[in-house]
Chains A and B, each alone.
Chain A
Amino acid sequence: MSNIDFLALGPEIAVTAAAVLLLMIEVARKPSARVWGWIAGIGIAAALGLSIAGWVLGRGTDANLYFSDMLALDGFSAFGGIVVFTLTGIGLIAGWGLVTSLRRRGAEFVALVLIAAAGMHLMAASANLIMLFIALEVASISFYVLAGITRNRAADEAALKYFLLGAFASAVFLYGIALVFAATGTLSMAGQESFLGETILLRPGVLLAGIALLIVGLGFKVSAAPFHVWAPDVYQGAPSGVTGFLAAGAKVGGFAALARVLTVPLDAYLDDWAPAVAVVAVASVVVGTLLAIAQDDIKRMLAYSSVAHAGFILLALTAGDAGVEAVWFYVSTYALQVVGAFAVVAAVSGPDTGASPLDSYAGLGKRSPMMAAGLGLMMIAMGGIPMTTGFVGKLGVFRAAIDAGYLWAVVTALVATVAGLFFYLRVIVRMYMDAPGGDAPALEVGRGPAWAVGITSAATIVLGIAPWPLLNMLRDALPF
C-alpha cells in the first residue's frame, strides 16, 4: 500500500531542492543573480526531464498510485508537469528584470517561483483530496507573496485582495472536501471513484453540496465568473514581471485539479455537475468579454479576457472524460499566450510596476517592432483566429461541448468570441495605427522578455499551423 517511487515525486524534489539550495547559498555566499538563474534553471530542467520520463513511462496507462495512494503517476500528471515546468522556465526568463530590480530579495522571488511550480505540479498529480488541498495551498500561498513582492502600494493591495479572497475560497473548497468525505467515507480519489461507481446513494444531497463547493473553490482559483472579482485587481496591481506567471500558473494548476476531481472521483455524477459547470462557463465567457471591452488598462483587459478563457476551458469539462484532452490543449497553449503577452507588458511598462495603461501602447509598432508583433500575435491567438493555437484550442473545446449536448452554451460562446475580437484587435490598432504620444523613443527591450516573447510566439504559430504533435501527445498520454 505504501509503495514509494521517487520518479513520481521527482519533479517536486528537483525544484524544491533547487529552491532550498538557492536560499542557503544566498545566505552563505551572497552570489550574483546569475548564480540564482543557474540554480533555478538546473532545477527546472531536471524537473522537466523527470516529467518527460514520467510521460514516457506513465502515458496511456491507468494511473499508478504511489505513497499510500497520495500521488498518481500517469499521462495526466506527467503532461501537467511538462506544461508547468516549461511555463515556470519561460515565466522566470520573462520576469528576470523584476528579479534583478529586487536586489537581494530576488533570491526569495526565484525560490518562491520554484515552490509554486512544485505546488502546481502536485495539483495535477494528487490522487487524494488531502494532497490536493496541500498542493493548492503551496501554490496559492506562494502566489500571494509573489503578487506583493515589490511591496509598493499597488502590489500590497493586490496581495491582500488575492490573499483574503483566496483564503476564503480555500475554506469553501475545504468544506466541499469534508462533505464529499462524509458522503463517500474516503479521501482517496480512486476509492471515491469505486465507491460512487458501485453504490447508489439514496440521499445524495451531501455529496451534491460537496461537489458544488468544490466547483466554487476551484472556480475561484481559475477565475471563473462569478468568482473572478479578484483577478483584475491582482493582475493590475501585481508587478508586470510576475503577472504572466501568476495568471498562467493559476489557470494550469486550477484546471488540472478541476479536471482530475471532476472526471476521476465524481465521474459517476457527470449528469449532476455538468450543467452547473456549463452555467459557470457561459457566465464567465459573457462577463469576461463584456467587461474586457470597457477596460483602458491592458492588464485589466487581459484579466477579464482570462475570465472569458476560463469559461471556454470549462465548456470542455462539460463532456467529462472526453473533454480532458481539449482542456489540456487549451490550457497549455493559452498559458503560453498569457506569458508571452505579459512579457511584452513587462517590457513596455517596466517589470516592477503595476499599471499599464493602453495609451502607452500607441505606436508600439514603431518603437519596438518585435514586441508589437509578439503582442499582436498573442492578441490574435487569444481572439481565436485560424493559424494560431487559440483557434485549434477553441475548436476542440467547442466540439467537446457539442458532443456533450451543450449546443446553447457553444452558441453563446461563439457570439462572445466574435465580440471579444473587438478588444483584442483594438490593441493591435493602437500599436500600429496610432502615433506614439509625445516624443516616445525606441523601446529598449531586455534579453529576457525578448526570449520569452520569441519562444511563446514560435510555439503559438507552429502549434497553430501543425497542432498534431501536441494533440497526438495528449491522446497518447490520457487513458480515457
Chain B
Amino acid sequence: MIVNQFLVLGALLFSIGVYGVLVRRNAVLVLLSIELMLAAVNINLVAFGAFVDDAAAAGQVFALFVITVAAAEVGIGLAIVVLIFRNRSSANVDELDLMKW
C-alpha cells in the first residue's frame, strides 16, 4: 500500500486550514478552518493506522477520539461566538481589540 497520496492530501488540507485561520476574519470561518486541520490529521491517522497494521488499530481508534473531541470543541467554540455576537453584534475577529499590548 502506498501511503504517500494520503499524506499529501493530509498535508494539503492542513495547510489550507492554517491559511484559513490566518486569513479569515469571521470567527465562524476560523472555526471551520480549524475543523479542516483536525480532519487533515484524521486522514493522516487513519492512513498511518492502516499502514502500520497493528492489531489494536490505534490510528483508527484515535481518529474516532479526535472526531468526538472536535465535536465538543466546536460546541464550546460556537457558544463563545454566539456570546461575542450578542455582545457586539458582529463576529469579526478584527474587532476584538479591547485589549492590546
* Interface size, chain B (Cβ < 8 Å): 40
User: Which of B27, B30, B58, B84 is within 8 Å of A186, CB to CB?
Assistant: B58
Please measure, in the bound complex, the distance between the C-alpha atom of A162 and the C-alpha atom of B51, giving whole angstroms.
Answer: 36
Which of A144, A172, A295 makes the CB contact (< 8 A) with B80?
A: A144
B96 touches A145 (CB 8 A): no
- Distance of A257 Cα from B44 Cα, bound (Å): 23
**Is A59 in contact with chain B by the CB < 8 A criterion?**
no
Contacts of B1-23 to chain A: CB distance below 8 A? 10, 14, 17, 21
How many A-B Cβ pairs are below 8 Å? 119
Name which residue of chain B comes closest to A69, CB basis.
B56
> What mask results when residues 149 to 192 of chain A are scored 1 for a CB within 8 Å of chain B, else 0?
00111101111110110011011101101110110011100000
Contact of A153 among B41, B66, B87 (CB under 8 A): B87
Q: Chain B residues near A168 (CB, 8 Å)?
A: 21, 34, 37
Main secondary structure of the interface of B (DSSP, over half): helix
Cα(A177)–Cα(B98), bound, Å: 35
The contact of B101 among A153, A157, A170, A291, by CB within 8 Å, is A291
Determine the distance from Cα of A153 to Cα of B98 in the docked complex, in whole angstroms: 8
Q: Given the interface contacts A137-B73, A237-B99, does A181 sit within 8 Å of B48 by beta carbon?
A: yes
Give every chain A residue within 8 A of B27 (Cβ-Cβ).
160, 164
Which residues of chain B have C-beta atoms less than 8 A from A181's C-beta?
A: 45, 48, 52, 58-59, 62
Q: Tell me which residues from 48 to 78 in chain B have a Cβ below 8 Å from any Cβ of chain A.
A: 48, 51-52, 54, 58-59, 61-62, 65-66, 69, 72-73, 76-77
Chain B hits for A154, CB < 8 A: 98-99
**In the complex, which of the residues A144, A151, A233 contacts B99, with contact meaning CB atoms closer than 8 Å?**
A233
Closest residue of B by beta carbon distance from A188 = B58
B73: nearest chain-A partner, CB-CB: A167
Whether B93 lies near A144 (C-beta < 8 A) is no
Would you call B38 and A156 a contact (CB within 8 A)? no
Binding site for A on B (CB under 8 A): 10, 14, 17, 21, 27, 30-31, 34, 37-38, 40-41, 44-45, 48, 51-52, 54, 58-59, 61-62, 65-66, 69, 72-73, 76-77, 80-81, 83-84, 87-88, 93, 96, 98-99, 101
A interface vs B, CB < 8 Å? 129-130, 133-134, 137, 141, 144-145, 148, 151-154, 156-161, 163-164, 167-168, 170-172, 174-175, 177-179, 181-182, 185-187, 232-233, 236-237, 291, 294-295, 300
- If A144-B80, A186-B52 are given as contacts, then 19 extra A-B residue pairs at C-beta distance below 8 Å, sorted by A number, are A130-B58, A133-B62, A137-B73, A164-B21, A164-B34, A171-B37, A172-B37, A177-B41, A178-B44, A178-B45, A178-B48, A181-B45, A181-B58, A182-B44, A182-B52, A185-B54, A187-B58, A291-B101, A295-B101
